[in-house]
Structure 1
């Protein structure tokens, strides 16, 4: 029998010295302390509360963050774009439309003051203001009339006249003049 290998299946009592529990019967990990389970539950509850807060802010609140396209300037809820070259008023209006915007419609004197910084001291820019015929009044591109007490326009209000921002004032010019222009659009809330 020399050199022969013999296999045997031994059933030793569990208390017998040198006996081991088979690997398949051993637990995979020791039982975790009670505080581990408590910490895990607190973590899960915290995650659920955070998810609910994010959903609530998305529905009822606003983060206050707004986004404008590249090369546009954000101020309040609006994005502004200033042309580099010049064109006539109708082409300027068409260019703004292609950009998903409109020629600037000035809402208040603070916005007019902001334009000085936006245009970096340059003199004249088309805005969305025009008079289509001699019997009509100054009208913004959206169709609303100009409040002449808020923004008096210097120059004639004849047919084929368009509005120009000149520093912090609005003046009249022929719509066929070639000037730079300012487009505006709503900022996208995040």
Structure 2
């Protein structure tokens, strides 16, 4: 256990030192001209490079040791966990864009369910009749685009005949009665649920 902890601590130290030097001293070093053009920046940069070159095997071993010891941690306080994700309701009813921004400020994304089970989970977190989801009308593609973060989802939860508002109703919502999706005006005020991965925990 002690050796494991020391390996991970060593890896962290190397990463910090390397990153710090890389940020401050961004110019390449000419090894052959170092003695002729001696500067503190080039000296530090060169020493860091040589340090990593000779100790790369130990670095790789420590890296593998730390990676293999990571696991799922806990969701932040007030967030609810489902599988590998954490969920939190926005603070108040907001417009679609305001709700999306609040999720962003919490290092998360506005939820769009990938299944009916996830839909029921989201509705179970609130008592309201409607809930914003990350579906927005794409003018270029002339269709509604639904995302889970950066990924366009394949699950289709639309009510029959929806979406039908196009650019006049460009934002998506879940309707409690059916659990299906509907398009609506973006300036209406509803809650949304923010989603983020469960934080990783390093086991030393």
TM-score higher than 0.5: yes
Which residue matches 1:78?
A: 85
Aligned in 2, Cα 1:62/1:50: closer, same or farther, shift over 3 Å? closer
Q: Which runs of 5+ in 1 are unaligned?
A: 1-46
Q: Which residue of 2 aligns with 1:166?
A: 175
Q: Quick check: 81-90 or 152-161, which moved more?
A: 152-161
1:60 maps to: 68
Q: Give the Å deviation of 1:58.
A: 5.3
Q: Hey, what does 2:188 align to over in structure 1?
A: 177
- TM-score by length of structure 2 reads 0.57
Report the alpha carbon displacement of residue 117 of structure 1 after superposing the two structures with TM: 1.8
Between structure 1 and structure 2, the one with the greater Rg is 1
**1:35 aligns to what?**
none
Shift in Å at residue 130 of structure 1? 0.9
Q: Under a length normalisation based on structure 1, what TM-score does the superposition of the two structures give?
A: 0.60
Q: Are the counterparts in 1 of residues 132 and 191 from structure 2 also a CA contact under 8 Å? A: yes
Higher helix share: 2
Unaligned residue ranges in structure 2 (runs of 5+): 6-61
Residue of structure 2 aligned with 1:133, choices 128, 139, 163? 139
In the alignment, what sits opposite 1:25? Answer: none
In the TM superposition, what is the alpha-carbon distance from 1:57 to its structure 2 partner? 8.2
User: Which residue of structure 2 lines up, in the alignment, with residue 33 of structure 1?
Assistant: none
| Alpha-carbon distance, 1:145 to partner | 4.1
Aligned to 1:19: none
The 2-side partners of 1:50 and 1:83 are apart by 40
2:124 aligned counterpart, secondary structure: helix
Q: How does 1:34-49 map to 2 (within 5 A)?
A: none
Q: Deviations over 1:24-73 (max 9, x none)?
A: xxxxxxxxxxxxxxxxxxxxxxx77998xxx998543665x432122211
**1:132 CA drift (Å):** 3.4
Q: Residue 134 of structure 1: CA displacement?
A: 8.0
Maintained 8 Å contact 1:127/1:163: yes
- What secondary structure is seen at the aligned counterpart in 2 of 1:138? strand
Change beyond 3 A, Cα 1:57–1:92: same
What does the per-residue CA deviation read over 1:115-153, in whole Å, with 9 as the maximum and x for residues that have no partner?
23222x4211111111133852221344544536x3224
Is the Cα contact below 8 Å between 1:138 and 1:157 reproduced in 2?
A: no
Structure 2 partner of 1:87: 94
Aligned residues: 140
Q: Does the CA contact (< 8 Å) of 2:4 and 2:65 recur in 1?
A: no
